[in-house]
């Protein structure tokens, strides 16, 4: 509880809204994250580091980028 509160407070100081401790705890299990292109990230300078197509989609990197 104290560590969760500290984590939520630290995130808020850095401009990130975390709606509850459960979401903060789930961050440790995240393997990938996706943002849409309509302004989800409006601060900073995001940079694409990897492009991964879901295997079940049958698409490759070129398909995803087109």
**Is the separation of the CB atoms in 30 and 19 below 8 Å?**
no
In order, the DSSP letters of the chain are: -HHHHHHHHHHHHTT----SHHHHHHGGG-------TTTS--SS----------GGGT--HHHHH-
36 is catalytic: yes
pTM assigned to the model: 0.46
Containing structural domain, residue 25? 2-65
pLDDT at residue 9, as a whole number: 92
pLDDT in tens, 32-59: 777 666 655 566 676 777 777 777 777 7
pLDDT band at 6 (very low <50, low <70, confident <90, very high): very high
Structure-model confidence comparison of residues 42 and 65, the more confident one? 65
Catalytic residue among 17, 30, 34, 36: 36
The number of folded domains in the chain is 1
Q: Alpha carbon 42 to chain centroid distance?
A: 13
């Amino acid at each position: 509880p104290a560590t969760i509160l500290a984590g939520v407070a630290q995130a808020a100081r850095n401009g990130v809204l975390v709606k509850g401790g459960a979401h903060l705890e789930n961050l440790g299990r995240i393997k990938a994250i996706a943002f849409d292109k309509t302004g989800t990230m409006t601060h900073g300078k995001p940079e694409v580091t990897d492009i991964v197509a879901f295997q079940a989609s049958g698409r490759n990197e070129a398909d995803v980028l087109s």
